[in-house]
Amino acid sequence: MVCSKKQKWTHKLRMLEDAYRQTVTEQALAQQLFGSITDLFPICRSITGSGVRETLSYLNRISPMEIHEVPSGTEVFDWVIPKEWNIRDAYIKDSSGKRVVDFQRSNLHVVNYSTPIAGQFSLEQLRPHLFTLPDQPDLIPYRTSYYEESWGFCLSQNQLDALPDDEYEVFIDASLEPGSLTYGEIYIPGKSEEEVLISCHICHPSMANDNLSGMVIAAYLAAHLKSLPLHYSYRFLFVPGTIGSITWLSLNEQTLPKIQHGLVLAGLGDPGPLTYKRSRRGDDAIDRAASHIVYQQSEQPPIEFSPYGYDERQYCSPGVDLPVGRLSRTPHGSFPEYHTSADNLDFIQPKQLADSLMACLAIFDIIEQNRYYINTKPMGEPQLSKYGLYSATGGNKQSPEIQMAMLWVLNLSDRKHSLLDIAERSGLSFETILLAAQKLYKHGLLTPDEKLWRHNPK
Amino acid sequence: MVCSKKQKWTHKLRMLEDAYRQTVTEQALAQQLFGSITDLFPICRSITGSGVRETLSYLNRISPMEIHEVPSGTEVFDWVIPKEWNIRDAYIKDSSGKRVVDFQRSNLHVVNYSTPIAGQFSLEQLRPHLFTLPDQPDLIPYRTSYYEESWGFCLSQNQLDALPDDEYEVFIDASLEPGSLTYGEIYIPGKSEEEVLISCHICHPSMANDNLSGMVIAAYLAAHLKSLPLHYSYRFLFVPGTIGSITWLSLNEQTLPKIQHGLVLAGLGDPGPLTYKRSRRGDDAIDRAASHIVYQQSEQPPIEFSPYGYDERQYCSPGVDLPVGRLSRTPHGSFPEYHTSADNLDFIQPKQLADSLMACLAIFDIIEQNRYYINTKPMGEPQLSKYGLYSATGGNKQSPEIQMAMLWVLNLSDRKHSLLDIAERSGLSFETILLAAQKLYKHGLLTPDEKLWRHNPK
Amino acid sequence: MVCSKKQKWTHKLRMLEDAYRQTVTEQALAQQLFGSITDLFPICRSITGSGVRETLSYLNRISPMEIHEVPSGTEVFDWVIPKEWNIRDAYIKDSSGKRVVDFQRSNLHVVNYSTPIAGQFSLEQLRPHLFTLPDQPDLIPYRTSYYEESWGFCLSQNQLDALPDDEYEVFIDASLEPGSLTYGEIYIPGKSEEEVLISCHICHPSMANDNLSGMVIAAYLAAHLKSLPLHYSYRFLFVPGTIGSITWLSLNEQTLPKIQHGLVLAGLGDPGPLTYKRSRRGDDAIDRAASHIVYQQSEQPPIEFSPYGYDERQYCSPGVDLPVGRLSRTPHGSFPEYHTSADNLDFIQPKQLADSLMACLAIFDIIEQNRYYINTKPMGEPQLSKYGLYSATGGNKQSPEIQMAMLWVLNLSDRKHSLLDIAERSGLSFETILLAAQKLYKHGLLTPDEKLWRHNPK
């Protein structure tokens, strides 16, 4: 029985990341992720409507999900589900009939949630409805007006400057009517009912990094995790930003106590290094696990929590206060392409997408594998050479790093330090510490603490 | 009733600082402070005697105070009130009858507490009684001999070097006789019997920064506070250094438990940035409030407590241990003008005096206004746009800083964080956080915690 | 009785360091230490055998010690005492009969614990048994093979490169047979049964810094301490590395609870600054005392504990977990002479040896003298001038540092701060703080806390 336990444990070693590597090369994975983003890029998404449904339908083919429809008017905490918005076409035509601003060329051209309009306007009359980025004159901004009924167009400053005084025909073929808010949910049961929450926002129209990167990575993660034995259950949410997470929280209050760890995924394809923003709790298990992996990969220290950003704002509101952090690359708002037409397929890189996905798995590996062990020979060091774990004269049989990792694991396996504690204290990677622990365990020099699966390794 | 509470709270917002601004411009205030210092500068003060009485009589016209006289010989803790010292004239005349050192030109010329003397001395006989600053040859030092009876003169090194071998007539028309120690006290009752202590030393002769700046600012502060509704009671002490604070402590032991916060004011007119020296307790409410304001104004981190300096030495002695820190500009001893004739009216600046006074009020504002609130909509964020607290499409109705402040206040108003906690954590000013809290409170999104007026916001 | 206490206390002031200075100049001490190392340098030591016995016999003349012999085969925790190794001669002769590698020239030439061999080898056959340092081609490496029976020679890369293809005669006249492991122990009883442990490793052959410096300093320390009144009992261990400390721990488990503080001494003669490596506990009394002295002497911050190094690995194993740190100069492995023939008498400096010994005594001084006092006049400052402890007009009677130290001691002697706490907080040396405390105590301004001799001043 001890033997079977050992086998099981050994088998689980780095299962999530390694398992992926066994099925697909990182390069192929990178192309899969990029390919899906390319497919989804043209769709005009919003917080409600057919663009969201089409997107979820595509993601559903990567990893089957439950699609929820919540009717307009439903009260969700302090909010109300808005009317559903759908758009078919929109343009500004000059007096010659030429479309000078055309929704068909970029869905950013229309202010998201614009009410329908059809009429003739002079340029001066139009101006209050036109939005540009004077400091980035080539780019179209991304604008929304969810909770104030209005209409408008976004265009580049250069486009605007080139418009002559003229009589323009304005047309927005949109509807804003009672309907529903749509979101997707994937639940992957593990051995425990305790959950890991992964959330991404699906409401942005043609933007690659923010947040097609997040939703596509989430879908592939879910597809991968489904095939593996897991301790935790994993719940993936594909929700429109703010209103979507508030809706889910409001409808699932009974589920919240089960959530032990969580990540918001957003902006994971740009060329910048991985970054992690702490949960409101600041130093929970997810904060330590994600900070460790991000530091190992990119040497970026974690970003302190602030009540701004993506849906971590809702998951970390004071009455909810879930241990949910955010994994990104360059933080939103701090890259010039943010919320513009430059957040396109050229801005994201296949390799960055794949690395982001693998980092998620490495974080989950810590969450799944971190434990407390007890040194079975705590008086002095055990004679490692007896077990073939120490080199004799001619150079090391073990790599020096593993050798040091074994000494650290032996020294700190005193019921007070988890493997992650030991990794943090030693400056070695969790992966190395886990490997050392496995070797020591194989030789009976470690025994699991009865507190196995303690979640918060603080 | 809720409404009247709201009104009251709104009314109290930044009352202390703003109230001053409503009555006088900062420039006029600066001139008032500088003018009073100019008036008081010529008086020869000491730890006892008529110079102190004259000074307090002047300050009494700014803000009426109680004048205490404690007889010589009174035991105060380990000390005894010394004899009273009064001086009328003093000089050294050369053989031609010319006053080569003349008390009438600068009261620093006589060692403070010099015993009377009249006689003829050769230069060599005089030398042990002459004090100079060889490294600052233009300046007259400030010297005292309170507890060892002796006499002496202070002069510039240049003056000394110019003295020929001659027979000199020395005369000090002083008295050192039983009398009393004089100090002033102003008590301004607030709603609570709990007190804020403000102390300044009044014993230095003609020195502008150390400490006419402190005593004049204290007097104007008292005059201002008297006109305002206050939570705390405020007690101002105008005492001779060391022996004065020890005397007050010794005579008022029953009052000590009421003192919740305190500041020693000294050296507040020089051109340097504001600095705050922590109380012995190190991180009490006054330490946090004063550190916050000083950092906001001057980006100076607080100076750690040390058992040296001004009367904080006595207030922070181990058996007294009051939460009293020190507000200064350039710390004593670290500017070349310190304790010399160069600490004169040219060394201090009207604007610096006014800024120092306003900083005191900003500190008291935190002490008076810091509280705990509770977010009434803690599940997710409230929909701020519903309340007119969030911008729609076209730019922010709220300033971005207030917008962020509202998010911080909402996120951390969980019974665990005071407004000052939130200011510290967010990096925003207490003023901004308070303003955000007020807006949220007006719309019912915050409610005061029942622990209102918790004093120590740690 | 109070008087006699005072006298005793005064007498004890800095007794350990000062007492040494009274008996010998630091220069003479430096020469004694260097002379003993010179005497011991040629001996071929190992973890067992006659080299160790000869070494201990020499040290026994400096400070008499108990010599323990533990038979081969004895089980000590996870280890077994190995066979005893003795070597008389070893060489490699070329075909002309010339000794091209000769144990008589350097005992590093033979891999320590080599099995006996006699035979003819071609150069190619020899190569697997030859060890060099290609990056330091002039130096002979130091190699051992304690727990894997084999034989080999160490030589410089230059020597090896100069060997022609030839038939070589190889001869190692060694024995590896049941015998015993030898270690030395000195126990110096103090007033208390609580102990300070000092441990050094004695197993390295001709190496001056690592660790003749440690064992000779330990012997002189013991000789000195024997002559003095001590609070603690001191136990010195002269043990072969790893197996020796494990043997002692295994045979003396009942003694472990008495050990309150400890130091491993190693590498104390090289030109580098003193360094201290924390115990596993990290901030125990020994850690604070040694860190304080090392910082005062060399401004080196303490090195964090790691489970690598010398016998602190065993004393700080998780089941033993004694408060034992390590005092060294340049840490092992980080100087190029480490474990080579360059760790010779030229590498160490007499003055460094003496300074290291005095630092040990300064550390023990803190351990012996640190206490809690209570300010007897805690309300305000006492009037120091009354006691002759404060200067009047003309300059200070006390040095400014002692003056500040007195203020710190008075301010913090509140039952919560030991003298070491005060030294750390004030930035002054323990010596200065102790001197100030002594002056205050003499004048009745301090009284010892009843918690005298509290060991862990945290």
What pLDDT was estimated at residue C19?
Answer: 82
User: Is residue C391's pLDDT more than 70?
Assistant: no
What pLDDT was estimated at residue A451?
Answer: 64
Contact A313 B414 (CB under 8 A): no
Measured between beta carbons, the chain C residues lying within 8 angstroms of A377 are 77-78, 319
Q: How far, in Å, CA of C433 to CA of C416, rounded?
A: 16
Contact A307 B411 (CB under 8 A): yes
**Which residue in A has a C-alpha nearest to residue C311's C-alpha?**
A380
Query: Would you state the structure tokens that stand for residue A38, as one six-digit string?
Result: 């390319």
Q: How far, in Å, CA of C299 to CA of C320, rounded?
A: 31
Q: How far, in Å, CA of A233 to CA of A226, rounded?
A: 10
Q: What is the DSSP letter of A362?
A: H
Contact A250 B379 (CB under 8 A): yes
Q: What is the DSSP letter of A262?
A: E
- Which residue bears the tokens 């007794």? C15
C399 Cβ contact partners less than 8 Å away, ≥ 6 residues apart: none
Contact C319 A386 (CB under 8 A): no
- Mutate which of B411, B416, B426 to test chain A, going by most A C-beta atoms within 10 A? B411
Helices (H) and strands (E) counted in chain B, each on its own, are 14, 18
User: Mean pLDDT over residues C250-266, rounded?
Assistant: 98
- Mutate which of A375, A376, A381, A385 to test chain C, going by most C C-beta atoms within 10 A? A381
What pLDDT was estimated at residue B10?
Answer: 41
What pLDDT was estimated at residue A135?
Answer: 96
Top pLDDT among A84 and B4 is at A84
Q: What is the CA radius of gyration of chain B?
A: 26
Helix (H) or strand (E) holding B199: strand B195-201
| Residue in A143, A280, A317 closest to B379 by CB | A317
- Mutate which of B381, B396, B447 to test chain A, going by most A C-beta atoms within 10 A? B381
Query: Would you state the structure tokens that stand for residue A346, as one six-digit string?
Result: 């050229």
What pLDDT was estimated at residue C400?
Answer: 86
Measured between beta carbons, the chain B residues lying within 8 angstroms of C382 are 78
| Residue in C380, C408, C426 closest to B314 by CB | C380
- Mutate which of C373, C383, C424 to test chain B, going by most B C-beta atoms within 10 A? C383
**Of the candidates A313, A353, A319, the residue with the CA atom closest to the CA atom of residue B376:** A319
Q: How far, in Å, CA of A444 to CA of A399, rounded?
A: 20
What pLDDT was estimated at residue C20?
Answer: 85
User: Is residue A312's pLDDT more than 70?
Assistant: yes
Contact B318 C393 (CB under 8 A): no
**Percent residues over pLDDT 90 in chain C:** 88
Q: Amino acid letter at A69? A: E
User: Mean pLDDT over residues C422-451, rounded?
Assistant: 93
CA distances from B106 to B85, B211, B450 (A): 17, 17, 58
**Of the candidates C458, C283, C431, C264, the residue with the CA atom closest to the CA atom of residue C360:** C264
- Which residue bears the tokens 């192929």? A28
Contact C381 B314 (CB under 8 A): yes
A11 Cβ contact partners less than 8 Å away, ≥ 6 residues apart: none
What pLDDT was estimated at residue B1?
Answer: 30
What pLDDT was estimated at residue B452?
Answer: 55
> What is chain B's length?
458
CA distances from A162 to B53, B90, B408, C417 (A): 80, 87, 43, 76
Q: What is the CA radius of gyration of chain A?
A: 26
Q: How far, in Å, CA of A162 to CA of C397, rounded?
A: 86
Contact A150 B392 (CB under 8 A): yes
Q: Residue A435, Cβ neighbours under 10 Å: how many?
A: 20
C1 Cβ contact partners less than 8 Å away, ≥ 6 residues apart: none
What pLDDT was estimated at residue A397?
Answer: 52
List the beta bridge partners of residue B66.
B185
Centroid of chain to Cα C426: 29
User: Is residue C450's pLDDT more than 80?
Assistant: no
List the beta bridge partners of residue A23.
none
**Of the candidates B430, B417, B333, the residue with the CA atom closest to the CA atom of residue B372:** B417
Measured between beta carbons, the chain A residues lying within 8 angstroms of B404 are 308
- Mutate which of A373, A376, A383 to test chain C, going by most C C-beta atoms within 10 A? A383
Measured between beta carbons, the chain B residues lying within 8 angstroms of C404 are 308
List the beta bridge partners of residue B173.
B89
Top pLDDT among A376 and C392 is at A376
Interface of A with B (CB under 8 A): 76-79, 111, 131, 143-145, 147-148, 150, 152, 242, 245-246, 249-250, 253, 280, 306-308, 313-314, 316-321
**Of the candidates B143, B127, B105, the residue with the CA atom closest to the CA atom of residue B340:** B143
| Residue in A381, A394, A426 closest to C317 by CB | A381
Looking only at the bridges linking them, the beta strands covering B195-201 and B259-265 are parallel
Q: Residue A8, Cβ neighbours under 10 Å: how many?
A: 10
Our CA-based measurement puts residue A144 at a distance from the nearest CA of chain B, in whole angstroms, of: 6
- Mutate which of C373, C374, C377, C381 to test chain B, going by most B C-beta atoms within 10 A? C381
Q: What is the DSSP letter of A25?
A: -
| Residue in C377, C394, C412 closest to B78 by CB | C377
Measured between beta carbons, the chain C residues lying within 8 angstroms of A389 are none
Looking only at the bridges linking them, the beta strands covering A130-131 and A180-188 are unpaired
What pLDDT was estimated at residue A21?
Answer: 82
Q: Which chains does A contact via 3+ CB–CB distances below 8 A?
A: B, C
Helix (H) or strand (E) holding B324: strand B324-328
Our CA-based measurement puts residue B370 at a distance from the nearest CA of chain A, in whole angstroms, of: 20
| Residue in B380, B413, B426 closest to A77 by CB | B380
What pLDDT was estimated at residue A18?
Answer: 81
DSSP C304-359: PP-S-SSTHHHHTSTTT---EEEEESSPTTSSTTTTBTTSSTTT--HHHHHHHHHH
Contact C392 B314 (CB under 8 A): no
Q: Are C261 and C232 in contact (CB under 8 A)?
A: yes
Q: What is the largest CA-CA distance in chain B?
A: 91
| Residue in B383, B411, B426 closest to A318 by CB | B411
Q: Amino acid letter at A428? A: L
Sign of the Cα pseudo-torsion (B265, B267, B269, B274, in order): negative
Q: How far, in Å, CA of C311 to CA of B217, rounded?
A: 64
**Of the candidates C336, C356, C333, the residue with the CA atom closest to the CA atom of residue C344:** C336
**Which residue in B has a C-alpha nearest to residue A320's C-alpha?**
B379
User: Is residue C298's pLDDT more than 50?
Assistant: yes
User: Is residue C392's pLDDT more than 70?
Assistant: no
Contact B392 A145 (CB under 8 A): yes
Chains A, B: CB pairs < 8 Å: 79
Contact C393 B152 (CB under 8 A): yes
User: Mean pLDDT over residues A89-104, rounded?
Assistant: 97
User: Is residue A396's pLDDT more than 60?
Assistant: no
What pLDDT was estimated at residue B14?
Answer: 59
Looking only at the bridges linking them, the beta strands covering A275-277 and C446-448 are unpaired
| Residue in B253, B308, B320 closest to C407 by CB | B308
Q: How far, in Å, CA of A52 to CA of B265, rounded?
A: 64
Our CA-based measurement puts residue A303 at a distance from the nearest CA of chain C, in whole angstroms, of: 26
Measured between beta carbons, the chain B residues lying within 8 angstroms of A319 are 375, 377-380
Our CA-based measurement puts residue A425 at a distance from the nearest CA of chain C, in whole angstroms, of: 9
User: Mean pLDDT over residues A231-255, rounded?
Assistant: 97
Our CA-based measurement puts residue A445 at a distance from the nearest CA of chain B, in whole angstroms, of: 45
Contact B307 C379 (CB under 8 A): no
What pLDDT was estimated at residue A19?
Answer: 82
Please, what is the average pLDDT of chain B?
A: 93
Q: What is the pLDDT of residues C321-350, one digit of tens each?
A: 999 999 999 999 899 999 999 999 999 999
Sign of the Cα pseudo-torsion (C285, C288, C292, C294, in order): positive
Which parts of chain B sit beneath pLDDT 50?
1-11, 392-396, 453-458
Q: What is the pLDDT of residues A4-35, one digit of tens each?
A: 443 344 435 566 888 888 888 989 999 999 99
Long-range contacts of residues C209-212, Cβ cutoff 8 Å, at least 24 apart? C209/C267, C209/C268, C209/C269, C209/C270, C209/C329, C209/C337, C209/C343, C209/C347, C209/C348, C210/C266, C210/C267, C210/C332, C210/C338, C210/C339, C210/C343, C211/C265, C211/C266, C211/C267, C211/C310, C212/C37, C212/C40, C212/C41, C212/C269
3-state secondary structure A123-188: HHHHHHHEECCCCCCCCCECCECCCCCCCCEECCHHHHHCCCCCEEEEEEEEEEECCEEEEEEEEE
Q: What is the DSSP letter of B163?
A: P
- Mutate which of B379, B390, B433, B446 to test chain A, going by most A C-beta atoms within 10 A? B379
Contact A380 C144 (CB under 8 A): no
SS3 A100: strand
Q: How far, in Å, CA of B417 to CA of B423, rounded?
A: 10
pLDDT band at C451 (very low <50, low <70, confident <90, very high): low
> What is chain A's length?
458
Measured between beta carbons, the chain A residues lying within 8 angstroms of B393 are 111, 131, 143-145, 148, 150, 152
Measured between beta carbons, the chain B residues lying within 8 angstroms of C410 are 307, 317-318
Q: What is the DSSP letter of C256?
A: G
**Which residue in C has a C-alpha nearest to residue A416's C-alpha?**
C318
Cis peptide bond prior to C211, omega within 30° of 0 = yes
Looking only at the bridges linking them, the beta strands covering B275-277 and B414-418 are unpaired
Sign of the Cα pseudo-torsion (B412, B417, B423, B424, in order): negative
**Which residue in B has a C-alpha nearest to residue C378's C-alpha?**
B319
Contact C320 A411 (CB under 8 A): no
Contact C381 B246 (CB under 8 A): yes
